[in-house]
């Protein structure tokens, strides 16, 4: 029933977005109704609007995973959402589920960014959830990948 409620409201929001020529982003996240890339593409198909786009944050696609599991989950997500990603996030997770700054956890960022590029993504890559002190190191790490 939560999916049906969300879909009804999304239809209303997309009607407004269509009228004003703006895109809406849906971010698959474990705490959301749309928990996965599969859910995001299902919603996009159900809504039938090119205005519904994906915000892809690899660290929100799983709660706990080792590096191999995380890489497989993220690779599948990029493949499923190819052509629908408007923005990517650069946040990481440790294997135990705690969030980390990009490059410090189990997300394989070189693989993630390479896959995004091969899928045709050329939008913004935004990092968040870090301190001002961590920002320069994360910026250097990400700049080296893009």
- DSSP letter (8 states) at residue 128: -
Pairing of strands 99-101, 91-93: antiparallel
Element (H, E) at 72: helix 67-81
- Tell me if the pTM is above 0.85: yes
**pLDDT (tens digit per residue) in 19-53:** 999 999 999 998 899 999 999 999 999 999 999 99
Question: How does the average pLDDT of the chain come out, rounded?
Answer: 96
pLDDT at 129 over 90: no
pLDDT at 133 over 90: yes
Domain that includes residue 36, residue range: 2-145
Q: Cα–Cα distance between 134 and 136 in angstroms, integer? A: 6
> CATH no. for residue 36?
3.20.20.150
pLDDT on residue 146: 84
Q: Cα–Cα distance between 52 and 10 in angstroms, integer? A: 9
pLDDT on residue 96: 95
Tokens of residue 28, six digits: 């698959």
Q: Cα–Cα distance between 37 and 19 in angstroms, integer? A: 27
pLDDT on residue 135: 95
Number of domains in the chain: 1
């Amino acid at each position: 029933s939560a999916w049906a409620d969300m879909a009804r409201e999304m239809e209303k929001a997309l009607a407004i977005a269509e009228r004003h020529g703006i895109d809406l982003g849906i971010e698959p996240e474990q705490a959301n109704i749309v928990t996965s890339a599969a859910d995001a593409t299902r919603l996009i198909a159900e809504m039938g609007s090119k205005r519904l786009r994906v915000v892809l944050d690899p660290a929100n696609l799983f709660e706990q995973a080792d590096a191999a599991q995380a890489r497989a989950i993220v690779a599948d997500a990029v493949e499923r959402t190819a052509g629908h990603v408007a923005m990517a996030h650069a946040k990481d997770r440790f294997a135990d589920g705690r969030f980390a700054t990009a490059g410090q956890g189990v997300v394989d960022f070189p693989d993630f960014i390479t896959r995004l590029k091969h899928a045709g993504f050329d939008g913004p890559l935004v990092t968040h959830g870090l301190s001002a002190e961590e920002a320069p190191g994360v910026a250097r790490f990400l700049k080296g990948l893009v």
